[in-house]
Amino acid sequence: MAKAKAHVFQPVDAGGESYERMRAKGIDVVVPDEAWASAANKRERIEVMFDEDADIGLGIASRSKNLTRATLENSPGLRAVAFYTVGYDNVDMEAATELGILVSHSPTEPNWGGVAEGVFAYILAMLKKVREKDRHVKQGGWRDPKLTGTYIGPRLDGYEGITLGIIGLGRIGSRLADLFQPWRIKILACDPYIDESKFVHHNAMPVDMETLLQESDIVTAHCNLTKETTNLIGEKELARMKPGAILVNAARGPIVDVDALFDALDQDRIAGAVLDVLPEEPPDPQTPILGLGDKVLLSPHMITANHGTGLIHAIPWVEEVVYAVLRGEVPEHVVNEETLPKWLERFGGKSLI
């Protein structure tokens, strides 16, 4: 019997220990002989091609490595694509589901928890004008009314505090809601895909998108990138937001129409934005939104990067996915469960290791 084959399309395990453990189980692990894409060429989009006899693909969500329908069809026996990341938007999900190929991801707490903490910190930095105060003092200035921040929680004098609007109350959105609980602020959430009990558990009021946009002082997006969520926040949605509102996107760049966002900020129709992600990464230095000064607080798509975290925590997760899939078993964290009947018919109980 031919060896089972795992094709790594973007390496994560720098030491290669997990690959060696797989090889010890008789799996042929193919690792591309290429370094991580440099900042200069990350804008280039490469169509990944697995070997024709590949049984599973391993890698990360990366705009530079696209897994198209042609990618998936090139390997007739492909059972799954396993991601070390929470995101998986560089794979053609429609094609994978149609072809009966499982897609799994790795929602490790250091990853999603790090996003929530980072967003929390950046929101506070914007509301309290942390950058502006620091720069003002370093430039020889001192007290200035323009440096006045925003009080967050409600007060006894009748001030109601800010309203936080969360689009997507999954792991990240719900952790962010929990982080704001001590302030006793009003939290609105829009998520049609979760049980109502989760809103109650995280003290969030379920609302529709229009209400969230109109009533929130902070609007923060925490949803996956899909056809439905591409340009979820565009000109029409930005027009519904308060003039003093701040938009946060630490999910995926294409969720926000960045040109419409630039116009809204440039014309003072909203007050600010926090962006960990952009439609093109890294952005062209001439991208207009980079020139808006303190209206925009930027991060180089590493808001979740903290000491002791990173994708290393996902290595054992993906390794277990490989073993399960190659044994003909359904792994954990499958994101296209609707294709399970087709997958089980093709591969269920058919072990390659």
**Strand-pair partners of 303:** none
Q: Is 281 a catalytic residue?
A: yes
- DSSP secondary structure code for residue 255 in this structure: G
Residue 167 token pair: 């689009």
Interaxial angle between packed helices 109-127 and 130-138, expressed in degrees from 0 to 180 and rounded to the nearest 10: 60
Q: Is 237 a catalytic residue?
A: no
Three-state DSSP class for 189? Answer: strand
Q: Is 323 exposed, middle or buried (0-12, 13-18, 19+ CB in 10 A)?
A: middle
Calpha distance 57→67 (Å, rounded): 10
Phi and psi (nearest 5°) for 315? -60, -50
Residue (of 324, 323, 260, 280) closest to 24 by Cα position: 323
Catalytic residue among 281, 313, 320, 346: 281
Q: Is 105 a catalytic residue?
A: no
The radius of gyration of the chain's CA atoms, rounded to the nearest angstrom, is 22
Specify whether the CB–CB gap between 65 and 335 falls below 8 A: no
Residue 152 token pair: 């967050």
Catalytic residue among 171, 252, 319, 333: 252
Amino acid occupying residue 72: L
Catalytic residue among 21, 301, 313, 346: 301
Could you list the active site residues? Answer: 252, 281, 301
